[in-house]
Amino acid sequence: MANPPIISLTDCCDPNAVARQSARLAALFGAAPTVLPLAGPDPEGAAALTLLDVLRSTDLLGGAGRPTVVLVNIAPRDGHWPNGVPFCYFRYRDHLVISTLNPRVLEPVRRHLGVTAVEVTDVREALEAAAAQWAEFTPAEIDEIARTQFRSLWYVPLLARWLVDGRPVPARTEVLEIPVASRALRVAVVDNFGNCKLDAPAAELPGYAAGAEVELTDAAGAVHRVRCYDRLPDVPRGEAGVVTGSSGIGFAELVVRGGSAAALFGLREGDQVCAPVPELVG
């Protein structure tokens, strides 16, 4: 079977890091990955929506598609783990996803794609198992890979290769928890047109309905009443509107027809635009 294409979402995206990751993956898979840099002010939020969108983009193909491999390297910045958060993996249909164990990044695929659990790996345990069965690593090389701060370079490409080949990589199953606290709605992604993609379906905006107005805050905290529309073409030219956008599962999008919502409201990725709303169960 031909090697699958690889898409990499990463906040290690300076030219040096991208060159090294591309070379290593090319050596293992025969082709360089498509690297999507996430270097904005809120890489976790951008990664969460982008991962959901990447997997959703494999739907509606009109027939059978080909498997892909998606790598996600966005570590929580909490300092909890001694050498970084573990890497986990799951499969969505025929697609393999390897990700840092980041609850915020994984929440949209849990909620909207039904990914309820992931397989969590330990770097040293996986390397030692590989060395005992199929890979040629000395104890010193295992220690070097296990101790490095750049695990998305030295470990993740190996994990991807082994999982694609069906190797028995040791892992423990972890169920993804359902959030119980309320959360604020935020800007997940600002696209190149200045449209602000929010991190929840439009139907979850309090008061959302076509023709109605919802209250959103700008970067300075000022409240604006913005009219809702079904689609971007329905928004009058030059005016702001909230529409059901192209991302996620009907996620809301703050737009300005023919202009930039990000510029008009001073918004960046990660900015809160709506007061906290109860987290829906399921």
- Cross-strand bridge partners of residue 252: 244
Average pLDDT over residues 106-112: 95
d(CA 162, CA 167): 5
d(CA 128, CA 235): 58
d(CA 254, CA 2): 41
- At 281 the pLDDT is 42
pTM of the model: 0.93
- At 177 the pLDDT is 85
Q: pLDDT band for position 274 (50/70/90)?
A: confident
- At 78 the pLDDT is 59
> Taking Cα atoms as reference points, which of 188, 205, 197, 180 lies closest to residue 280?
180
Which residue type occupies 259?
G
Comparing 22-26, 206-210, 254-258, the range with the smallest average pLDDT is: 206-210
- Residue 209 half-sphere exposure toward CB, CA atoms < 13 A: 2
- At 240 the pLDDT is 97
CATH 2.40.30.90 occupies which residues in the chain?
183-277
CATH 3.40.50.10790 occupies which residues in the chain?
6-175
Q: Kindly report the CATH class assigned to 183-277.
A: mainly beta
The domain defined by 6-175 folds into: Rossmann fold (3.40.50)
> Taking Cα atoms as reference points, which of 135, 274, 87, 125 lies closest to residue 196?
274
Residue 265 has pLDDT above 50, yes or no: yes
Sign of CA dihedral 47, 76, 104, 272: negative
